[in-house]
Amino acid sequence: MTEISAVMVKELRARSGAGIMDCKEALTECNADMDKAADFLRKKGLATAKKRAGREASDGVVQSYIHMGGKIGVLVEINCETDFVAKTDGFLEFSKNIAMHIAAASPLGVAPEDISEDVIKKEKEIYKAQALEMGKPEKMLDKIVEGKMNKFYKESCLMNQIYVRDTALTITDLLNDMIGKTGEKITINRFTRYQIGG
């Protein structure tokens, strides 16, 4: 059994943002393997997220972020269960990071259902036309369009996007980590992104 040192706990804590005892438990469970311990903490966060899913998230913040000398601006509403969590540095930093990600990645909606029917219809028509142009058989079109739409949702829905500051995580992973840390239900409710000339 590998000895779990304070340095290891500190490193995992810096990496995951989890509490000291959680980091120590994760390192012990994973025999001091840093990557496995980080995954262990992420799964724990996911389990907490599932437990909290039915709860009411009626507190939170509206976070703003202005980028490029005022050329891009974002307002995002992120909800949690209590005023106490809404005021913590960790929650505020998470909210700021989400706003910065939205400024950089320009998602079209939080989830697929937030993207307008017109945009979806237009995308499907483009993918269908591209497939026909490439000489794909008629009976394959629906399957091709479905595959392209899945990729489109991955790239254009906030929750599915790869986090710009850490490409090993999606925004969903980031959210589940935050739920694991706070023990509260947290939701990214809505956002608006403004861009000069955009």
Domain boundaries along the sequence of the chain: 6-52, 59-110+157-195, 116-155
Q: 116-155 adopts what CATH topology?
A: GTP Cyclohydrolase I; Chain A, domain 1 (1.10.286)
pLDDT at 151 (0 to 100): 93
pTM for this predicted structure: 0.71
Separation CA 81–CA 88 (nearest Å):
13
Amino acid found at 72: I
How much is the average pLDDT of 14-37? 81
- For the residues of 134-191, what is the DSSP string, one character each? TT--GGGHHHHHHHHHHHHHHHHBGGGSBPTT-TT-BHHHHHHHHHHHH-S--EEEEE
Residue 68 has pLDDT above 90, yes or no: no
Residue 16 has pLDDT above 80, yes or no: no
Least confident stretch, 12-16, 90-94, 111-115, 176-180? 12-16
Separation CA 13–CA 115 (nearest Å):
37
What percentage of the chain has pLDDT greater than the value 90? 53
DSSP single-letter state for residue 64: E
Residue 54 has pLDDT above 80, yes or no: no
List, edge to edge, every strand of the sheet that includes 187-195.
59-67, 72-80, 187-195
Model confidence pLDDT, tens digit, residues 120-166: 999 999 999 998 888 888 888 889 999 999 999 999 999 999 999 99
- CATH of the domain spanning 6-52: 1.10.8.10
Model confidence pLDDT, tens digit, residues 73-122: 999 999 999 999 999 999 999 999 999 999 999 999 999 999 999 999 99
What is residue 196's three-state secondary structure?
Answer: coil
pLDDT at 47 (0 to 100): 59
According to the CATH classification, is domain 59-110+157-195 in 2.60.40.3710?
Answer: no
How much is the average pLDDT of 15-21? 70
